[in-house]
Structure 1
Amino acid sequence: MPYAFSLDDVAFLASPEGEEAIAACSELPLTGATRIADVATARRVVGERYAAVLETVELRRKASVKFADPRGWLFTGDALQQASAAPVARHRAARLAGRDVHDVTCSVGADLVELAATARRCVGSDVDAVRLAMARHNSAQAGVSPLLVRADALRPVTRDCVVVADPARRDASGRRIWRPGDFVPALDDLAGVYADRDLVVKCAPGLDASAVPWARELELVSLDGQVREACLWSAGLASTARRATVLRSDGTQWTVTAEEPDDVGTGEPGEWIVDPDGAVVRAGLVRQYAARHGLWQLDERIAYLTGDAPPPGVRAFRVVEFGHYSEKELRATLRRHDIGRVEILVRGLDVDPNTLRRRLKLSGAGEASVVLTRIGRTPTAFLCRAERIPV
């Protein structure tokens, strides 16, 4: 079970003495094999607050995948799990720059600090006093000073500002919740309470857009090739029905929208296979992306694209040869090319890449990528070389 922080814990951890205690335990391995010894060491060095200190050390380590520098930050386990990665939160905040913004589920402040950096005025609220205390500390760490207030998200305490919400999507046992009506607060309740406001709601990427008819824009956001979230924008903020935003940790980004041309056809394989970013696929914008880059589809129901020149900045697959797929034929092709290490990508076929890789029993010296898909009713295998295309 995750540690349940108290307000006294937060006060201690935010103090100079708390930071000294965290620093004293920061080099402990905290593995399954060392846990008993590490707890004993922490008890001896820190005293009665040892559990809060060890939990903070572990959470800061986990936070490094979402924050460039989580040193000095305080988290709860659940809050960190749901927090947006900093580049994703920064992107959303940039769309609201210069506005008055109220984050009504601010939690420990991961999104709030980015909003506060760009908004004209910024308010954060939460029902959880511990998370609110952490948000106050984290805001100070980030050098911003939003107004913080303890309040229920469904009981407005501000007027005339954009409302941002990130409903809880796990139940008390930690299991993921999929139905928007079961979120806390529920999406329809948020939309009803803030019907007269501009509303932005962060959700999981698997959300069914038909379940939220009030949303006028559905934005899918990926970071470094991984789809991170869906974001719902109400009528006053929407500029397209569907948007895919692709972010990179190096600060580069691009977007494609439903308003762009989608006049592409299907055709024979070109020199390259392109697997569009997951945000593009989930947003239903594969054809728009293809049209932008002069690509076409192998099959109108499959997201793989093909062409003679891949888009800049992507990892694409140069076709070496292709033909009808069967496990026997694929094994023979890979052995003929002396392939011993293979990456397998699949769309449209009931094939598990890991299971297939084991069954191929390859022993060659080379490596390759295999793209398995269906063209019409024909299962097809492409032997490829993966290449990173320069920007």
Structure 2
Amino acid sequence: MDASEVRELLTAEALDLLAGLPPSDSTADAVSLVAGLRRAGHPPARVSAVLTQHRLRRKAVAKFGPFAERMLFTEAGLEQASRLGVAAQHAGRYVAAGLTRVADLGCGIGGDAMALAALDLEVLAVERDEPTAAIAAYNLAPWERATVELGDAEAVDATRVDAVWLDPARRTGARRLSSPDDWSPSLDAALAIARRRPGGIKLAPGMDRALIPADVEAQWVSGGGEVVEVVLWSGALARPGIRRAALVLGPQGAAELVAADDSPDVEAGPLGEYLYEPDGAVIRARLIGDLARSIEGRMLDATIAWVTADRLAPTPFARAFRVLERWPLDAKRIAKALRERGVGTIEIKKRGVDIDPALFRKQLKPQGPNAATLVLTRAAGERVALLVERVD
């Protein structure tokens, strides 16, 4: 989004027009809206800016819920913004640590700054891109203790605040944020800032673990079954004795596994009645061993992140399945067994075997009214197929 589009968007006429647009979910609706706005005499630049926001607001509901209806967005800012529930977890850290003045350095559209301000913290939101800073100022307007400044994260005087939050942006031309070369500010610069003041640094969950310093707490976060980030916490924001954490946000609330370091593995053993698929945050944090011990389980294979157990032990850190059948990983044999069960819809999970699930499904030629879940993996080195059912 360029400066001229933001200037057009922030006029009273454009904002009133945006607020009055009816819901729309299809291309046909969008075409009709454009035609109607043009007939009403609105200039093309205003129509373009308003309809872009109308589209982004619909998209943003997945992250911001009903708050999206009063916010403004940029494409890149929405993509990088933390989900509302995740941002609330971030903000809670600062409150728990007794830190009251926080600088959000590289605030983007202001999502995390909003969560901080909502907990009555004094927030200094800094953004170097002028159009994005203007969007952040609009989003933060309801909070009197939130201020937006145009500037560079590395140039901010951190002595003005008690703590910092950094969400490094993607450098121009970079496709992902798993390499420190893709970040702005760089990882070294962000860590330097977070050592001068207690801080949190949000990074891509797949970052190279070798880059994680020994003096920070690394917390992987998952929501909706997806690992969304790893945050490096420093100073008073890092909990004593904890260097690894897996935070799982689910329908029942937040649950967390913590440890002083990567947890020791448990031994592999025979397939039990139940199979557990660890949450991605647990896998990334390398806390599978602690999870397995907590449910009296064992690894299905020493090299694969499946845990098996003889009893059901509900846990927020893994999905549980009851094992119905075990077969060698032979497509013809599996196809015959599934036909006998009238299985026409198959969910395939695979880990540790070089198989394309889509091609394998075609080999099975499923048909029938029933549905099933098939796990393709290794057990004690043997390639196996497990027919399982989800345990709610």
Q: Normalized against structure 2, the TM-score is what? A: 0.89
Greater shift after overlay, 67-76 or 232-241?
A: 232-241
CA RMSD in angstroms, aligned pairs only:
2.3
* 2:313 alignment counterpart: 310
Which residue pairs with 1:175 in the alignment? 175
Aligned twin of 1:102: 103
Query: Which residue is equivalent to 2:326?
Result: 322
Paired position in structure 1 for 2:148: 148
Give, in whole Å, the separation in 1 of the partners of 2:217 and 2:280: 18
User: Which blocks of at least 5 consecutive residues in structure 1 are unaligned?
Assistant: none
Q: Distance in 2 between matches of 1:305 and 1:177?
A: 30
Relative to 1, partners in 2 of residues 1:251 and 1:374: Cα closer, same or farther, differing over 3 Å?
closer
Is 1:40 the counterpart of 2:39? The answer is: no
Q: Which residue of 1 aligns with 2:78?
A: 80
1:255 & 1:152 partners in 2: Cα distance? 34
For structure 2, which runs of at least 5 residues remain unmatched after alignment? Answer: none
Whether the aligned pair in 2 keeps the contact of 1:219 and 1:231 (CA below 8 Å) is: yes
Task: Name the structure 2 match of 1:217.
Answer: 217
**1:209-247: CA deviations, max 9, x gaps?**
212426622111001211111111124432311110000
Q: Pick the aligned partner of 1:61 from 40, 58, 61.
A: 58
Alignment-derived partner of residue 93 in structure 1: 91
Residue 4 of structure 1: CA displacement?
6.3
Q: Which residue is equivalent to 1:288?
A: 290
SS of residue matched to 2:206: coil
Q: Is 1:350–2:350 an aligned residue pair?
A: no
Q: 2: distance between equivalents of 1:359 and 1:51?
A: 48
2: CA distance between counterparts of 1:11 and 1:105? 21
What is the aligned-residue identity percentage?
A: 34
| Aligned position for 1:49 | 46
**1:219–1:245 CA contact under 8 A, matched in 2:** yes
**Partner of residue 8, structure 2:** 9
Please list the CA deviations of residues 130-163 of structure 1 after superposition, one character each: whole Å capped at 9, or x if unmatched.
222222221234x463122222100023315211
Contact 2:9 2:15 in 1 (8 A): no
Question: As a proportion of its length, which structure holds more helix?
Answer: 2
3-state DSSP class of the match of 2:301?
A: coil
- CA distance in 1 between counterparts of 2:81 and 2:71 reads 13
- The alignment partner of 1:367 has SS state of strand
Native 8 Å contact 2:249 2:255 kept in 1: yes
Conservation of the 8 A alpha-carbon contact between 2:9 and 2:46: no
Letter of the 2:379 counterpart: I
Matched residue count: 380
Indicate how the Cα distance of structure 1 residues 107 and 359 shifts in structure 2: closer, same or farther if over 3 A, else same: same
